[in-house]
Amino acid sequence: MRRYIFFLGSLFLFLTSTSKAQEVIGPVQHNAELFQQQYRPLLKTTTLSLPFFDDFTDKSPFPNPSKWMEAQVYVNNTMSYNPISRGVATFDALNAKGGPYDSSSSINLVYADSLTSQPFDLTTYIPSDSLYLSFFIQPQGNGFAPETQDSLMLFMKKEDGNWLKVWSLAGNVLEPFHQILLPVVDSVFFHIDFQFRFVNKASINLNDDNWNVDYVYFNAGRNRNDTLVNDVATSVEPSNLLNDFTSMPYHQFVNHQSQLLNLDHYFYAKNNYGNSTTVSLGYKATETQTSTPLFSSVSSNDVMIPYALNQYSYPVYPISFSAAGIHDKVVFEQQYFINNASNPNEPKENDTITYDQIFDNYLSYDDGTAEKSYFLNQFVTMPAKTAVEFYLNEPDTIRGAAIYFARQVPLPFNKFFSITVYQSIGLNGGLDTVYYQQDLFYPHYDSINHFWIYKLDTALVLPAGTFYLGTLQPSSSGCDSIYFGLDVNRIGGNHLYYNVLGSWVSSSAPGAIMMRPLLGQPVVGTAIKNLSQNNEIGWSIAPNPTSQFISIQFKDGSYQNCLLEIIDATGRMILNKDISIQHTLNIEQLDPGVYFVRIKQNNRYTQTRKLIKE
């Protein structure tokens, strides 16, 4: 059994802790995987025939268009717990573009994802042909449990074109997959354009209402006792080769393999038979950028007991691959397979599973997918800080940070934060030692590569050893803290620390916050389409830097009923003043340093500016 499966108990306890907790786990209100694929609506393609089967093993995050008409559900292998075979269809409150169905409210109950089959011609069948549709369902999985007012429903299309609800299930907490078996016997369904459709009803709040569907099978000649799944299949995601990081630069790895590699690597297979089954298994490894073979195991046999979920482990193979350049990307594809030769008719698409061990220009503890979000309960009068511990085996240059932000509903406006690189943080009452800090960054979500890339103005050369990368959100900068993506499949420590009360605390979050330092060659920051998209008022500060007076300059008389706020680098409010009349301020009393200035009009903040007091 995969190790993270045992972690779900503590995960649930953490989620149900008091609302006064400083750390909060919330839903993901944006799916970057779907956004990356540039969704296109699916259309009717062809008429299907029986038997119909899909266990969602396709690599695309969208359903197979030859079988399904919509692309609203998320096909993946990370949101479920102990699936029947690798790959499930996840129903949530996010649309086909990866955004919320309702971006203005966090409490509305909506009909959310639907999954509609391509049409079947059932005119050659009659009710006595014993047609049954079966599927497996699981509430919650690695997401959030649907509440009792939420539901998963199944509709079937009648001959008159109307849809009839034939089954539904109210929300519940995490439980194993269980099978639903439904007869198709009503004569209104035996027509040339029959379809079935799954739909979930979701309330968009801190319970993200996740359902997982797997192993959909529709055929004639079945009966109500036809519940066996005669299939041996790969299951949850394989391990990575590294013992702590999920990815790192190859030049940081290649000369330090003994301390960075796991002792073994492994994959999982599930025997869905009700009897013991003999299988053959093995793996091969290839460097994909150059197609260089790395290793291939000798095929072996094993007897799997009924309904077993087995972990098959292999010693780490010797790695002698040489990259052409010190900063080149290197990818080791680990392809694992299992085969039940005694039954050639069982599905074979799920007999193989791959894991890409990526060596690139970043350090990471996450796998690139966010199942939940993480944020801090920030006090209005105090800053909120995060710091993730990393280490270098050799000196390197940090050029920026890649951060996966979780969207908030409603969308936050004008939150800003600083990126800080620490040599050390003040654990146990000590002082922070800061290498570098850069201010006035804003969170963004719609990035093609999942993460938003922030380029540092100054390249920072770091020695070998430990360092910390984190964020600082000043007080009064948006009430609650910024939402980060959280990978709950993280195995081991999360290396995260937080500070909301003036001292650093080791995080209890069940997973890895998705923040990565970018190393090596120069990076290009993610482009921002329109910084003034919120129709903010236009204004500027002059002179800047200054030692005494500042003048706030507006455009087009937009200064009416404005409040100016000045915040220091620690997040303390230094000054707030109505500037509808006075636009020149004396700041001689302020200590020299960096300050943040923002203007509030009609209960909305403008973009924050930096002020340097000499």
Sign for the CA dihedral angle at 442, 446, 452, 454 comes to negative
In the block, which residue shows the tokens 């290649």?
254
Question: pLDDT class for 569, splitting at 50, 70, 90?
Answer: low
* 515 and 546 part of one domain: no
Q: What is the pLDDT of residue 1?
A: 25
Is the residue at 237 inside a domain?
no
Q: d(Cα 476, Cα 474) in Å, to the nearest integer?
A: 6
- Residues 6 or more apart whose Cβ sits within 8 Å of residue 449: 36
Q: Give the CA distances from residue 302 to residues 299, 305, 316, in Å, rounded to whole numbers and listed in that order.
A: 10, 10, 20
Q: d(Cα 427, Cα 432) in Å, to the nearest integer?
A: 8
Q: Which of 55, 85, 80, 92 is nearest to 171 (CA)?
A: 92
* 159 and 85 part of one domain: yes
Is the residue at 525 inside a domain?
no
Which amino acid, residue 391? Y
Residue 3 has pLDDT above 50, yes or no: no
pTM of the model: 0.81
Residue 485 forms beta bridges with which residues? 373
pLDDT average, residue stretch 3-24 = 42
Greater model confidence, 335 or 544: 335
Greater model confidence, 408 or 258: 258
Q: d(Cα 486, Cα 143) in Å, to the nearest integer?
A: 11
Is the residue at 355 inside a domain?
yes
* 260 and 409 part of one domain: no
Q: What is the mean pLDDT of the chain?
A: 85
* 331 and 213 part of one domain: no
Q: What is the pLDDT of residue 603?
A: 64
Q: d(Cα 362, Cα 327) in Å, to the nearest integer?
A: 11
Is the residue at 235 inside a domain?
no
Q: Give the CA distances from residue 261 to residues 239, 246, 257, 357, in Å, rounded to whole numbers and listed in that order.
A: 11, 11, 6, 11
φ, ψ of residue 226 to 5 degrees: the values are -85, 70
Q: What angle do CA 72, 73, 75 make, to 5 degrees?
A: 130
- Residues 6 or more apart whose Cβ sits within 8 Å of residue 65: 42, 45, 71
Q: What angle do CA 219, 225, 231 make, to 5 degrees?
A: 65
State the CATH number of the domain containing residue 544: 2.60.40.10
Is the residue at 239 inside a domain?
no
Alpha carbons within 13 A on the beta-carbon side of 115: 27
* 508 and 425 part of one domain: yes
**Residues 354 and 311 sit within 8 Å (Cβ to Cβ):** no
Q: d(Cα 273, Cα 256) in Å, to the nearest integer?
A: 43
Query: Exposed/middle/buried for 41, CB within 10 Å: 0-12, 13-18, 19+?
Result: exposed
**Residues above pLDDT 90, as percent of the chain:** 57
**Residues 442 and 494 sit within 8 Å (Cβ to Cβ):** no
Assigned token pair, 118: 């391509």
pLDDT average, residue stretch 114-123 = 96
Residue 422 has pLDDT above 90, yes or no: yes
Last residue of a domain, one of 359, 393, 412: 359
- Dihedral of the CA atoms 102, 103, 107, 113 (nearest 10)? 40
* 139 and 183 part of one domain: yes
* 327 and 396 part of one domain: no
* 344 and 408 part of one domain: no
Assigned token pair, 341: 């030769």
SS3 label, residue 195 = coil
Is the residue at 364 inside a domain?
no
pLDDT average, residue stretch 242-269 = 96
Q: Which of 91, 88, 112 is nearest to 102 (CA)?
A: 112
Is the residue at 21 inside a domain?
no
pLDDT average, residue stretch 301-321 = 95
State the CATH number of the domain containing residue 390: 2.60.120
- What is the number of structural domains in the chain? 4
* 266 and 378 part of one domain: no
SS3 label, residue 9 = helix
Residue 165 has pLDDT above 80, yes or no: yes
* 69 and 213 part of one domain: yes
Residue 36 has pLDDT above 50, yes or no: no
- Residues 6 or more apart whose Cβ sits within 8 Å of residue 557: none
* 353 and 376 part of one domain: no
Q: Picking from 165-174, 223-232, 507-516, 588-597, which range would have the lowest pLDDT averaged per residue?
A: 588-597
Q: d(Cα 127, Cα 184) in Å, to the nearest integer?
A: 7
- Residues 6 or more apart whose Cβ sits within 8 Å of residue 345: none
Count the residues in the chain.
Answer: 614
Is the residue at 9 inside a domain?
no
- Residues 6 or more apart whose Cβ sits within 8 Å of residue 310: 268, 269, 270, 271, 302, 304
Q: Picking from 13-22, 482-491, 543-552, which range would have the lowest pLDDT averaged per residue?
A: 13-22
State the CATH number of the domain containing residue 297: 2.60.40.1710
* 193 and 296 part of one domain: no
**Residues 407 and 106 sit within 8 Å (Cβ to Cβ):** no
pLDDT digit string, tens, across residues 86-116 = 999 999 887 766 666 765 555 667 788 999 9
Question: pLDDT class for 30, splitting at 50, 70, 90?
Answer: low
End-to-end CA distance of the chain: 61
Assigned token pair, 25: 């786990």
In the block, which residue shows the tokens 């393999």?
257
Parent domain of 466: 372-519
State the CATH number of the domain containing residue 41: 2.60.120.260
pLDDT digit string, tens, across residues 202-220 = 876 544 689 999 999 999 9
In the block, which residue shows the tokens 């995080």?
507
Best mean pLDDT range from 12-21, 139-148, 290-299, 604-613: 290-299
Question: pLDDT class for 430, splitting at 50, 70, 90?
Answer: confident
> Element (H or E) spanning 421, and its range?
strand 417-424
